[in-house]
Structure 1
Amino acid sequence: MALTPLYSHGISCGFPSPADDFKEAALSLDDHLITRPSATYFVRADGDSMVNAGIHDGDLLIVDRSLTPVHGDVVVVALDGQLTCKILDRRRGRLLPANSNYPAIPIWEGQELIVEGVVKASVRCHRAC
């Protein structure tokens, strides 16, 4: 993958500020977003149940299978064979949406829950990709 310039100065998303013309380094998104390539996969978000976690319909999710999921992680799971992306609530044994229009999903004893990976990042296009 080609390296793209990374500027040392952040860009204002409020009022404009003078630009810093100095490049800090070159950046490969693979190096920045993918720690363990052999354990990483991509999947597109489908729906709006995770919008308040910053995950929107059509976003590209970067999922790492090698991470041990902890309470509060955004995870991709197979619950009784159905894939979903939700917030892991280990304390109360459930999966949480990040949109109040959707209910929490309880995890009942006897259900098959397979964590397919932890969502490390998401990528959103602001113009057709």
Structure 2
Amino acid sequence: MARANGGSMQVVGIFDRDVLIADRSLTPMNGDAVVVALDGQLTCKILDLKRGRLLSPMANTSRYRYGKELLVEGVVKVSVRNHRPV
């Protein structure tokens, strides 16, 4: 489990402070929302296996190319919405 931080995944229904349940037993497929360790930081992005990059569904955010330093921690199977502001 991990907590989402930021709004880059809102287009696919993952909002700031949502709880993500990532399944490590699933084989990541093209287009999956995944939790990854990228340069030592956990992030949630869309996996683009065909082009070897991570995508953010928001139009104004970056696309990340990855190499050996990417570790897929799990495929996001469920997100639990946080309805109460902090």
**Fold-level match, TM-score > 0.5?**
yes
Alpha-carbon offset, residue 126 of structure 1: 2.8
Which consecutive aligned stretches of 4+ in structure 1 deviate over 6 angstroms post-superposition? none
Give the Cα–Cα distance (whole angstroms) in 1 for the partners of residues 70 and 3 of structure 2.
Answer: 21
> Which residues of structure 1 form unaligned runs of 5+?
1-41
| Structure 1 counterpart of 2:81, one-letter code | R
Question: Closer, same or farther in 2 for the Cα pair 1:127/1:78, shift >3 Å?
Answer: closer
Residue from 65, 79, 85 that aligns with 1:106: 65
Which is helix-richer, 1 or 2?
Answer: 1
SS at match of 1:75: strand
> Please, which runs of 5 or more residues in structure 2 have no aligned partner?
none
1:112 Cα offset (Å): 1.1
1:37 is matched with none
The equivalent residue for 2:2 is 43
1:63 is aligned to: 22
Distance 2:14 2:45 in 1: 10
In structure 2, what is the equivalent of residue 72 of structure 1?
31
Partner AA of 2:75 in structure 1: V
**Distance (Å, rounded) in 1 between the aligned partners of 2:69 and 2:84:** 39
Partner in structure 1 of residue 41 of structure 2: 82
Q: Percent identity?
A: 62
**Bigger relative contact order, structure 1 or 2, given CA contacts below 8 A and separation 6+?**
2
Larger Rg: 1
Aligned-residue RMSD, C-alpha: 1.6
**Higher relative strand content:** 2
Structure 1-normalised TM-score? 0.62
- 1:107 is displaced (CA, Å) by 1.4
Q: How many residues align?
A: 86
Equivalent AA in structure 2 for residue 118 of structure 1? V
| 1:47 to partner: Cα distance | 0.3
For residues 72 and 25 of structure 2, the distance between their equivalents in structure 1, rounded to whole angstroms, comes to 11
Q: Which residue of 2 aligns with 1:18?
A: none
TM-score, normalised to structure 2, is 0.91
Output one character per residue of 1:85-108: Cα deviation in whole Å (capped at 9) or x when no partner.
Answer: 000000011000121120111114
